[in-house]
Amino acid sequence: MDAIEFTRNYSDLSTDRGFQFEFQCNRCGNGYKTAFQAWTMGTVSGALDAASSLFGGVLSQAANLGERARSATWQQARDQAMGEAIQEIKPNFVQCPKCSSWVCKKNCWNQARGLCKNCAPDLAVEISAQQSAKALDQIQTSIGIDAEDAKVIGSVGNTKVQASCPNCHAPLASNARFCPSCGYKLADAKFCTNCGAKLEAGAKFCAECGTKQE
């Protein structure tokens, strides 16, 4: 028999009663399962196992001999069954010449490019996906933020930094010349006409809100 292909992307579902295999696509994970193929020796060995459990002794020794013979015979039969399964399933798969993955022809093979769709994506599908994503973004933008988020954003946007007295740290009005709490003279200090933040000497714009100062 020729060398066996599909050495990794398959599941062996065989039992001592027969053989069955499932082959998976390396890209999408889907695949094909072969029909269960009964093994005639499985019935014979099953009868020996039953006789062994009932009578023991000589029949038990016969069952053990049958088990050893079966292991070699079963393996040979299994390899033959797998070779036949590969020939049955192989027309449904293609091995990509670039990445060597076995992929299903139905969903994961780019016939026009001669490569799997991981190596040569279907451009029509990719364009459609990008258009859908863009349309979804436009819908979300047009709907806008919900009410709860609007409240949070609004509260942050309306919060202003209030000037405080450099001596006692009491809140000050934007045009205060003296602190109303401790009487500290504020004539030399300047504050933003918009948000009340203290201005650096010679500042033309508020460092907090960016408002131009007169």
Model pLDDT, residue 52? 47
Q: Is residue 124 part of a domain?
A: no
* CA–CA distance, 5 with 78 (Å, rounded to integer): 14
Q: Which residues of the chain have pLDDT under 50?
A: 44, 47-48, 50-52, 54-66, 68-69, 157-159, 161
Claim to verify: residue 38 and residue 104 sit in the same structural domain: yes
Are β-strands 21-24 and 10-12 bridged in parallel, bridged antiparallel, or unpaired? Answer: antiparallel
- Final residue of a domain: which of 86, 116, 146? 116
| pLDDT tens digits for range 90-111 | 899 999 999 999 999 999 999 9
* Residue 136 belongs to some domain of the structure: no
The answer to the question of residue 122 being in a domain is no
Are 21 and 100 within one domain?
Answer: yes
What distance in Å separates the CA atoms of residue 107 and residue 105, rounded to the nearest whole number?
A: 6
Q: pLDDT value at position 133?
A: 82
Whether 100 and 172 map to the same domain: the answer is no
What total of structural domains would you count in the chain? 2
State whether 107 and 36 are in the same domain: yes
CA-CA distances (angstroms) from residue 164 to 42, 173, 185, 198, 210?
93, 8, 12, 8, 19
Is residue 143 assigned to a domain? no
Domain boundary among 60, 88, 116: 116
What is the reported pTM?
A: 0.48
| Domain ranges, residue 101 | 10-116
**Helix or strand holding residue 35 (H, E):** none
Q: Is residue 129 part of a domain?
A: no
